[in-house]
Chain A
Amino acid sequence: MFGSVAFLIIIALSLLIFAVSEPLKYYFTLALLLAGVALSGSWSIDILTGSAPAIELILFRPAHGPGFVLTLDSLSAFFVIVINITVLIGFFYARGYLAPYRQTKQNTRFSIHFFSYFWLWLSMLMVVMLRDGLAFLVAWEIMALSSFFLVIFEAEDRKIMKTGISYLIQMHVGMFFILIAFLLVYRSTGRLSFDALAEYFDGHHNLPLFLLFFVGFAIKAGFVPMHTWLPEAHPAAPSHVSGIMSGVMIKMGIYGIARVLASMQSDLLATGIFILVISIMSGLGGIMMALVQSDMKKMLAYSTIENIGIIGIGLGLGVTGQALGSQSLALLGFAGALLHVFNHSLFKSLLFFNAGSVYYATHTRNMEQMGGLMKKMPWTAMMFLTGSLAICGLPPFNGFISEYLIYMGMFYSLSDATLYISLLMIVAILALSLIGGLALFAFTRAFGIVFLGEARTAAMNHAGETTPGMIIPQVFTVGLILLVGLGSSVVVKPVFNNVMITWGLKGMPMVAGALSYNLSRISLAGGILVVTLGALLLYRRYHLSRRVVEAGPTWGCGYTAITPRHQYTANSFSGNFNVLAKPVLRTGKIVDLPDENELFPGKREFFTRSHDIFRLYLIDLPVNRLSGLLKKIAVMQTGQIRHYILYAFLFMLLVLLLSLFNII
C-alpha cells in the first residue's frame, strides 16, 4: 500500500518539472527518477531473489472496470531491472550531452524534454507491469508519444520533424494490431487482459492471434520487415535518447512477444519456426546493412536490428523446444534471449552514448570524415572498443555469454533431433555464425575508421575528450558488461529461474546445474585470459625498456608523399563485401562523368549508396502500388454534391437489389 502511494506521488510530482527553474530542473527530474528507480527496483529485486512470488499494487481502481493495477511477476521484474539501469545511466549522461544546447534552446524545451524522458521511463515500467489490456494500451500509447517528443528535440530541423512524424505513425500502426488482437480475446473470453490469453489459447487456434500480436510488437522491436522506422528515428534523436530507445524501448516489443508466448498452448512448432525465420532475416539483413552505412548512428541502428534478430532466434528456439518437449532447448533458448535483452541494453546504449560523445566533439556523424579520434578522446575510444568487443560476442565480455547459451541450445538438441529439426538447427547455426562474422567485420570497421589511424578532415583536430560527467556513467556500463562477462555463472541463475517460472518448465535443475558449471569454466578461462594478458603486457614493457625504441612514419610501401586522405575509408573497407552482397544491398555508385568536350573539368562529387531491400520490396513497393490504385479510385471524389447524392442513390439501389434476390 505504501509502495503504490509513493509511486503515485512520484508520478504527480513529475508535473512540477515545468515549474522548477532552470538549473534545478535537471536535478529535480533526476531526484524523481532515482526515487522511482529505487522503489520499482526494490520490488523487482524482492521478486527476482524469490522473497516474494508476485506483487500487486493498486494505483487506481474505479467502482467498475479494472483500472490501473500493477502486477509484478518475475518476467516483469526482469524487464524493470533492464529499464531502470539503462534509463538512469542515460539520464546521467544526458546532463553533459545537453549542455551545449542550453544556450540555444528555450527553457520550455528542456522542460518538455525532461518531462518526456521521465514519462518514457514511467510508461515502460507500466507496459511491463500492467496486465489489463486497455491500461496496457494506454501505457503503450504514452510510450510512443513521449519517445516522439524525445526524438524531435531538435525540431527546428525539418528532416527530424518529418522522421518524428513517420515514427509516430508507424508506432500507431503497431498499436492497432495489438488492439485488434486484444479485442479478439475480449470477444471470446469477455476479458481484455493478458491474463485472459491462456483462456483464449485453450479453445482456439493459437497461431492467428499470435501473428496479430507479433506484428504489433515486432514493429516496436524492429524485426525485419517491420523495422523501417528504426534506422531513421535513432539517428534523429539526441544520443542519450537513441541509447535508451535502442537499449530498452524496443525491448518492450520483445517483452510483449515473450508475454504472449508464455500463454500459448498449441501451434508451438509453427510459431517457433515462424519466429526463427523472421529473426534470421532480421539478424542477417540488419548486420549486412549496418556494414555499409557511413552514418555512425545509423550503423548502430541497423546493428540493433541484428541483435533483435539474435534475441528472436533465442525466443524461436525456446518455443521450438517447448513444442518438441525438449526442456533444455526451451530453457537455453529463452534464457539466451532474455540475457541478450539485458546484454544488448548495456552495450548498445554504451555504443550510442559513445557515438553521442563523438558527435559532441566533432559535430558530425559521418564516419568518412573521422579518424584518429583515439588520440583525442582515449576514454570514449576505449569504451567504444569494449562495446564493440561485447557486441561481437567475444570473450570475456557479456555478449559471448548470451550467444553461448543460444548456441548450446542448438548443439544440445542436435543429437536426438529428427531430420527436419536437424535441418532447422543447422540453418540457425549457419545464420548465427555468419551474423557473428559479419558483426566482427562491421565493428572493426566502425572502431577502426572512427578512432584509429589519422584524422581524415581538419575538423577532427579540434576534437577533444568529453567531460567526466559524460564519461563516468559509461564507465559504470562497462563495469556491468565485465560483471556479466566474467561472473556469468551467478548472473545467469535469476535468468534461469525467470524462464522456468514464466514458461512453466519443469525438471530443469539438471541442465541448469551443468550449465552453471560450464559458465564458471568460461569465467575461469576469461580470468586466465585477462591475467596472462596483463602479465605479457608488463613483460613487454620491461622488454622494450631495455631495447632501442624509435618512432617513425608508417611504412608507405615506397610512396613517400602520403596524406591522411589516402587512408582506407569506411566505404572502401566494406568494398569487397559490397561486391559480394550486391544482389542484396544493391550498392550503386553515382558519378557524374565529365563531358567529352569539357576541357577543364570542374569539381565533381561521387556517392555510393546502398538500399534496404526489405524496405524497398516489402514496404515501399506495395504501398506505392496501393496508393497508385487509390489514386485511380479517387476519380470518384469530384467535390460536387450532386455526384455524392448519386453515389448514395446507387448504393441504396444496390442494397435494395441485393435484398430482393436474398443475397444479403
Chain B
Amino acid sequence: MTGFILIVIAALFFPGIILRTKSIASGRKGPGLFQPLKDIAVLLRKGSVFSISTGLIFRIAPSVALISVAGAMLLLPFSEHKAILHFEGDFIMFAYLLALGKFFMIIAALDTGSSFEGMGASREALYSMLVEPAFFILLATFAMFSSYTSFSVIFNHFYITGNDYVFIYSIIGAYLFVQIAMVENSRLPVDDPKTHLELTMVHEVIILDYSGFDKALIHMATNLKFALYGSLIYNLLVPAGWNTLLKIGAFFGVQTLFAVIIGITESFRARNKMNKNPKFILTLTTIALIAFMVILILTEKLV
C-alpha cells in the first residue's frame, strides 16, 4: 500500500520537475512546478471532440491505459513493505500489463484513420517490441541473483547476499531502467515530446486526436508510468535496512534525480534519427546481456 501511495505522490511532482529543470537549463523563467497538474485540471473541465472516423476503441483506450498502469502499480513494493498484490512472477504480469495499455493506445491511433497516427502507431509498436527483451533479461538476472521471482522479495534480498560487488550490478540495472523508462514513455533520445512536426513524432502523434477527459487520462497514465519506473530504480538502489523516514526521503530523492536526469537529457541532447532508434533500443538488450554476464560472475558461475 505504501508503495502505491508514494508513487501517486511522486507522479504529482514528476512532470513539473522535468519542466523546471528544462527551463532552468535553458535560462528561461518557465512555468511553475504544478503547471502540468493545472493542465490536467483544465483538460478535465473541458468538453471533448471526437473524430467521426473513430469508434468504441478510441473511446476506451485511454481508460484501459490508465488502469493498466495502475494495475502495474499494485505490484510494486516499497522496500520491505510488500506490494498490494505480490506473488511469484509478478514482474511478468507487470510487463504484460504495461503492454496491454500500449496495445490499446496503438489500435486507438489506427482508429482515427489518419496516416500520421498510423505512422506513429507503427513506430510505437516497433519500439515497444524491441525494448521488451531488455526488460525481461534484466528481470531474469534479478531472479537468478536473488533466487526469488517477485518484486516484493527480490529487492530485499539484494544487499543481504553479502557480496560487495552487487553495487556494480545495481548501477547497471538502474541505468537500464532509466533508459527503458525513456523508451517506454517516449522521451529523448528516442522521441521528442516537444517536437512541432507530426512526421517526427512517435507518442505525441498517436494521441493527436484526443481532447478533454481522455487526454487528461493519458497524461495521468504517463506521469504515473514515470513514477512507476522511478520506484523500481529506488527499490534497486536503496537497501531495505535503512530507517523508514530516511527511506521515504531517499524515495523522493531518487524520483527527483530521475526527473532531473530526464530534464537535463532533454535540454542538451537532440533526438535520434528515426532509423537509428532500433539500434539504440537494441543496445539496451545488449547492455542487459552484459548485466547478465556480471551476475554470472557474481554468482561464480563464470570464473
Contacts and interface: CB of A to CB of B under 8 A. Distances in A.
Contacts of A556: 114
A400 B129 CA distance: 17
Interface string A568-606: 100011111101100000000000000000000000000
Interface stretch (A71-79, A313-321, A524-532): A524-532
Nearest to B57: A452
Interface string A400-416: 10011001101110111
Contact of B122 (A422, A425, A574): A574
Interface in A340-391: 371-372, 374-375, 378, 385, 389
Given A547-B213, A548-B47, A567-B114, A422 B132 contact: no
A550 B46 CA distance: 12
Interface in A528-576: 528-529, 532-533, 536-537, 540, 543-544, 547-557, 562, 564, 566-568, 572-576
A445 interface: yes
Given A411-B149, A533-B63, A395 B93 contact: yes
A438 interface: yes
A452 B146 CA distance: 45
B163 interface: no
Contacts of A430: 133, 136-137, 285
Contacts of B46: 547
A389 B63 contact: no
B122 A568 contact: yes
A419 interface: yes
Contacts of A443: 103
B100 A448 contact: no
Nearest to A532: B67
A506 B116 CA distance: 57
A432 B149 CA distance: 17
A148 interface: no
B143 A411 contact: yes
Contact of A394 (B74, B96, B143, B301): B96
B51 A394 contact: no
Nearest to B136: A433
Interface string B33-73: 00000000000101111111111110010011011101100
Classify the interface of chain B: helix, strand, loop or mixed: helix
A303 to B, nearest CB: 15
Interface string B129-141: 1111101110110
Nearest to A393: B96
Nearest to A554: B51
A609 interface: no
Contact of A440 (B50, B75, B99, B113): B99
A444 interface: yes
Given A404-B92, A448-B106, A580 B140 contact: no
B102 interface: yes
B51 A437 contact: no
A315 to B, nearest CB: 20
Given A389-B103, A555-B51, A576-B123, A537 B115 contact: no
A460 interface: no
Contact of A429 (B44, B118, B137, B212): B137
Size band of the interface chain A makes with B: 35 or more
B149 A412 contact: yes
A418 B149 CA distance: 18
Given A436-B132, A573-B122, A395 B96 contact: yes
Interface stretch (B81-89, B168-176, B257-265): B81-89
Interface-central residue, A434, A525, A528, by most chain B CB under 10 Å: A525
Contact of A414 (B60, B126, B133, B143): B143
Interface in B104-118: 106-107, 109-118
B303 to A, nearest CB: 10
B209 interface: yes
A626 to B, nearest CB: 38
Interface in B225-264: none
Given A444-B106, A448-B111, A518-B89, A568 B71 contact: no
Contact of A404 (B53, B93, B102): B93
A69 B67 CA distance: 54
A251 B143 CA distance: 33
A9 interface: no
Contact of B55 (A375, A440, A544, A580): A375
A577 B130 CA distance: 10
B49 A552 contact: yes
B53 A454 contact: yes
A166 to B, nearest CB: 33
Given A426-B140, A547-B213, A448 B110 contact: yes
Contacts of B193: none
Contact of A371 (B70, B113, B115): B113
Interface residues of B, number: 87
Contacts of B198: 557
Contacts, number: 258
Contact of A547 (B48, B87, B99, B119): B48
A533 B301 CA distance: 45
Contact of A441 (B110, B125, B285, B292): B125
B147 interface: yes
Contacts of A617: none
A392 interface: yes
Contact of A532 (B70, B96, B137, B209): B70
B47 A550 contact: yes
A521 interface: yes
B99 A573 contact: no
B239 to A, nearest CB: 20
A514 B89 CA distance: 11
A394 B102 CA distance: 11
A522 interface: yes
A553 B103 contact: no
A521 B133 contact: no
B208 interface: yes
B296 interface: yes
A417 B130 CA distance: 27
Contacts of B89: 404, 407-408, 411, 518
Contacts of A548: 47-48
Contact of B47 (A445, A549, A562): A549
B163 to A, nearest CB: 14
A434 B114 contact: no
A433 B50 CA distance: 35
B140 A568 contact: no
B267 interface: no
A440 B66 contact: no
Contacts of B166: none
Contacts of B129: 434, 437-438, 440-441, 577
A464 interface: no
B147 to A, nearest CB: 4
B103 A407 contact: no
A389 B132 CA distance: 17
Given A550-B49, A550-B50, A551-B51, A426 B110 contact: no
Contacts of B121: 444, 448, 568, 573
A537 B122 CA distance: 27
B113 A395 contact: no
A517 B137 contact: no
B57 A374 contact: yes
Given A408-B88, A440-B128, A576-B126, A453 B112 contact: yes
Interface of B: 44, 46-57, 60, 63-64, 66-68, 70-71, 74-75, 85-90, 92-93, 95-97, 99-100, 102-103, 106-107, 109-119, 121-123, 125-126, 128-133, 135-137, 139-140, 143-147, 149, 198, 208-209, 212-214, 275, 278, 285, 289, 292, 296, 301-302
Top 5 A-B residue pairs of the complex, sorted by shortest distance between their CB atoms: A568-B118, A448-B110, A437-B129, A548-B47, A453-B113
6 contacts: A411-B143, A444-B107, A449-B110, A452-B55, A528-B85, A532-B67
Given A448-B110, A562-B115, 5 more contacts: A407-B89, A440-B102, A443-B103, A453-B113, A525-B93
